[in-house]
Each structure stands twice: as C-alpha cells, then as structure tokens.
C-alpha cells in the first residue's frame, strides 16, 4: 500500500511539469495533501491522539483544503488560467524531473541508514528538488507559491522518512508558522498582481542599482 501511494505521489510530481493550467496545479496539490495524510496514517502506528489530530490538520485541513481554496481564490482574483511562462520546454522538464528521481534513488542509497525509511527518503528528496526546479523554470509568482508548497510536501515526507515526531507544542508552532507564511505569501502575490498589472517575476526589477 505504501509503495502504491508513493508511486502516485511521484507520478503527481511528474504531472506538475506536464500541465500548464493553474487549476491543475491546485488539484495536484490537493491530491498530494490527501496522499500525505494516507501515508502518515499507515506508517505512524503508535501515534497519540494529539499527534493524529495534528497530522490531520496539517495534511487534510491545511494542505488539501485551506491552501488549495486560497490558491483558487488567488487564481480567480488575478484571472490566471493557463500560465505558459515556463522557461524550459515540457519535454526537457520531463527528462530533468525523471533524472532528479533517478539521482534521488542513488542519493538515498548513498545515505542509507538504519534510522531512515529509504522509500520515503527517495520520494522526499525528489519532491524537494522537483519543487526547487519548478520555481526556477517558472516566471509567474503564482507558480512560485506552487513550487514552495511542493517543497513543503517534500519536507513533510522527509519528516516521515526520518521518523520525525516533534513534541506537540513544537509541532503546533511549526504548523501555524507554515500556514501563516503561505497565506502572507498569497496576500503579497495578490498585491503584486494589482500593483504591477501582471504576476511575472520580470516586472520586479525596481530595486537594483
């Protein structure tokens, strides 16, 4: 079951580079949020009720409901449909993301350790690197948020890979922090959209000397 969920997660990562519709990005993020919840639920066997509530909050409530809703609102406000602003052709991006996945396999085997779950570790590295690559190849700020959220998903998976379970209070602080950051980033993107007229990174060039 674990493997199937991880394969779907990996496929969803590749799909980010195949599609150019912003609505699809939001749908994939919703899917990833739900998958992360399922993976966490299966693997964290001796989990306390508080920790379970926290994971439910982080994955289903925040990653699969609140953030996608917020992104959809952002999309509608700024009239974003298809954002064909990738600086690299889809074909090359697919080759690169597949290469990232393969490299992640080798990297995971290199750091092999009794304390980490190798399959999670591999997918988390791929997701983090995939998120960084997604940000690099896109000029649109909306896509930068999507890339940032992909990295966040990778970080969540990495916490599962290393058996990461923080004390409740600390986990709560982390959760609120991440949610706040995403919402504030969204607010600023909205502001940039209305001030600059478009949401491309190339319009942000007023500061350089």
Least Å distance between CB 123 and another protein?
14
Phi-psi domain of 164 (left: phi exceeds 0; alpha: psi -120 through 50; beta: other): beta
CA 174 vs CA 7, 43, 54, 58, 206: distances in Å: 27, 21, 11, 10, 33
Stretch in the footprint of another protein (CB under 8 A) among 7-15, 25-33, 97-105, 174-182: 174-182
Residues 1 to 30 in contact with another protein, rule: CB under 8 A:
none
Stretch in the footprint of another protein (CB under 8 A) among 2-10, 14-22, 79-87, 150-158: 150-158
Q: Is 56 in the site for another protein (CB under 8 A)?
A: no
Q: Return the residue matching tokens 């496929």.
A: 11
Least Å distance between CB 120 and another protein?
11
Q: Which residues of 155-193 are buried (b: 16+ CB within 10 A; e: fewer)?
A: bbbbbbbeeebeeeeebeeebeebbeebeebbeebbebb
Stretch in the footprint of another protein (CB under 8 A) among 28-36, 59-67, 95-103, 200-208: 200-208
Residues in contact with another protein by the rule CB under 8 A: 51, 111, 113, 115-116, 128, 135, 141, 144, 148, 151-152, 155, 158-159, 162-167, 169-170, 173-174, 177, 180-181, 184-185, 188-189, 191-192, 195-196, 204-207, 209
């Amino acid at each position: 079951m674990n493997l199937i969920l991880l394969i779907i997660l990996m496929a969803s990562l590749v799909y980010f580079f195949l599609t150019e519709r912003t609505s699809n990005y939001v749908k994939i993020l919703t899917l990833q949020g739900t998958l992360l919840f399922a993976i966490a639920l299966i693997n964290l066997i001796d989990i306390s009720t508080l920790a379970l509530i926290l994971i439910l909050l982080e994955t289903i409530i925040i990653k699969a409901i609140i953030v996608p809703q917020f992104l959809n609102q952002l999309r509608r406000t700024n009239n974003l449909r298809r954002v064909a602003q990738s600086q690299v052709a889809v074909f090359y991006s697919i080759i690169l993301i597949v290469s990232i996945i393969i490299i992640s396999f080798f990297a995971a085997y290199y750091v092999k350790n009794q304390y980490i779950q190798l399959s999670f570790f591999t997918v988390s590295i791929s997701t983090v690197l995939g998120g960084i690559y997604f940000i690099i190849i896109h000029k649109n700020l909306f896509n930068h948020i999507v890339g940032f959220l992909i990295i966040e998903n990778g970080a969540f998976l990495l916490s599962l890979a290393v058996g990461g379970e923080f004390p409740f209070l600390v986990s709560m602080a982390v959760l609120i922090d991440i949610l706040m950051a995403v919402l504030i980033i969204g607010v600023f993107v909205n502001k940039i959209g209305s001030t600059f007229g478009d949401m491309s990174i190339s319009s942000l060039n007023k500061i350089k000397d």
